Structure 1
Amino acid sequence: MKKIGVLTSGGDAPGMNAAIRAVVRKAIYHDVEVYGIKYGYQGLIDGNIEKMEIGSVGDIIQRGGTMLYSARCEEFKTEEGQQKGIEQLKKHGIEGLIVIGGDGSFMGAKKLTEKGYPCIGVPGTIDNDIPGTDFTIGFDSALNTVIDAIDKIRDTATSHERTYVIEVMGRDAGDLALWAGLADGAESILIPEKEDEFSDVIDRLKRGHDRGKKHSIIIVAEGVGSGFDFGQRIKEATDLETRVTVLGHTQRGGSPSGADRVLASRLGAKAVDLLLHGKAGRMVGIQNNKLVDHDIIEALSKKHSVDMEMYQLSKELSI
């Protein structure tokens, strides 16, 4: 294999640039040409492809977002769209492709592999919802962003003796909410995998108020529902002064943490190794701090789950 491509797809995540850098430099180290495909699968269809050199990825390891940009592409879900992408790969002589993104991006990689173009998936999403890996690129950075925001909100919650509801990202996964809630001592954490009864949240607030607690932090994963709806219900049920903060896309921005830079570098390099050893239709990951790879379909067929022992611990420590 003498020419490979790399693209980022789906939502951006801190550390994607570090993964791109690792792919480019690892490939060039092995005398393989690398082509960057801009704007994900849409860029592949449109032929937005350019050769990358060592200098192309200089000074990007510390930058958030993705230098290759990202875009949603409904057309690539169709046979016609996939064929257009394949024609562009043939035109540029690209023999293998590395896709950095989440589960939707991996499905595109699967389709291309089935049509004869070997692909390797690199998990990049702040949601940490990809089976087959303990952590995804961007999760640690987003977690630290959430923790920093909650620390600041707790300061004002303490000053004004208020209850704060904080809505965090995570789609259908509760990892961000759970990890941030445990790290910041939240009184209640609402996640899709183990949704608390609303009455339990209210009971906790009332018990705290009865023993003199003046403020509380409640974290809601977006997959559970609207933070504003929960805030209104809490205010009506307790008559406590309640405020709501939706952290939104601040969680996806910013420089990647050290952990994400290292993880992205390791996974990006591993993806190149797999391609050069004739592997296809695989995803790379990390489990027990060891690099692993799995069949993409087998990985995606499994259901993501959170650490329920950690969830129980959060409840025990927030009495």
Structure 2
Amino acid sequence: MIRQFAPYYNNMTSQALADKGHTETRVLIATDVLSEGLNLQDATRLINYDLHWNPVRLMQRIGRVDRRMNPDIEKMLVKDHPEGKAIRGTVEYWNFLPPGELDELLNLFKKVSNKTLLISKTLGIEGKKLLRPEDDFAALRDFDHQFEGEPTALETMHLEYQRLLAAHPDLPERLQSLPGRVFSGKVHVQPGTQAVFFCFALPGKDNSVTAPVIESDAWTVAAGRTEWLLLDLQSGKVLDDAAAIDAVIHCEPETPRHCHIAQPTLSEARAKVEKHLKNGYLRQVQAPLGVVPQLIAWMELN
């Protein structure tokens, strides 16, 4: 379905679809499942009918259509569909706002639910007549998060990255120009603690690659994901919570560089983390021999 809707940015063309007996889809109606990890740049218009109140979710949806264009693909697309030349490179989107009555209902539900939880906790009333925190609070919290748009820690990081891009438009180009496995260091936020941060690109299986010469050729970084890891040198534990790691590695442009860990120790740390990924992620996805994590950047903290 994705290829029928956006063939050119998913390794297909209109003619190739026709040869397979498929027709192109001009309009695609989808749930929020399509809001992440897909290339839909063939399209130039987006309608958010079920409007999510979290700005990060909306940015992710719009980002399926408003993405970096490939000049070669654009030439091919315009050649096959000259009628769409005038709108290529432009993106428009519309948002359907919920009725005002819904906002009143949500506020009322929150007020009543919070008071009910407080009464249950204070008076010890059990049963289904009043809410019990162990049964219902998680659902209520998710309800509040979904409709009020309270950002999670990861979403807060995404928002901060968007602010960085707005303040420094040249940032993506500067990041792309950095060499692979770039290394640095800074003072740890906890005195007397030593750790090493790693950012890895984990390859994933690209289902668009058919009949590869060797099995590992079907595994690409573009089809995978990025992983943050922090190795505590004293305990040997590997932390993978991105929000917790962000609190440790966060720094400003003027933050001084601080590198003191011996090279053999750093090499051992890297080997340990790569083994952790091999026994964890690569085994979980059943990656074939030859598929290895790619180190993007790392940093010592001491």
What's the TM-score once normalised by structure 1's chain length?
A: 0.24
Higher relative contact order (CA 8 A, sep 6+): 1
What's the TM-score once normalised by structure 2's chain length?
A: 0.25
